[in-house]
Amino acid sequence: MDETKRYNKAIKIYKKAFNCSQSIFAAYRQEDKLDEASALKLATIFGAGVACTGKDLCGAVTGGLMAISMKYGKADEKDNESKTRTYELGKKFMDDFARINGSCICMEIIGINIGTKENLEKANKTGLFATKCLDAVKSSAKLLDEII
């Protein structure tokens, strides 16, 4: 799948009410190794600051890191070069993401900790998921287009 299609697919998945991690990982997974439904299930837990705690890594970051690892990660016990390369690409991805979004942490990006029921409702009412979170998905996708 070419870059434009993956970028657009990530946005389309996100707009179907999947979380940031799901949208990125499903769009950027290795399609010949993992089907979309399995990718969506696997990435669910990493959305909204990991398990909807709001205080950990942004799901657009975790989804991106999983996609990078799926493409370049170590699968052979003797292949330390792949592990090193994966770490380097992951660090660059996170540095670039933080430069664009101000942080890699969910609540620092959206300005509210969505880990509480009240703040989650507030985020929904004020449209943070349709603005800040969508922007995070878009920036993650653009960065992955350069890496994967």
- Quote the pLDDT of residue 143: 98
Computed over its alpha carbons, how large is the radius of gyration of the chain?
A: 15
Q: What's residue 94's pLDDT?
A: 98
| pLDDT of 4 | 87
68: left (phi over 0), alpha (psi -120 to 50) or beta: alpha
| Number of domain units in the chain | 1
pLDDT at 74: 97
Q: Mean pLDDT per 10-residue run, the chain (148 residues)?
A: 87 97 98 98 97 96 98 96 97 98 97 94 95 97 96
Dihedrals phi, psi of 2, to nearest 5 degrees: -80, 170
pTM beyond cutoff 0.75? yes
pLDDT of residue 43: 98
pLDDT, position 114: 95
Which residue segment(s) compose the domain that 10 sits in? 3-147
139's CB contacts (< 8 A; 6+ apart) are 60, 97, 100, 101
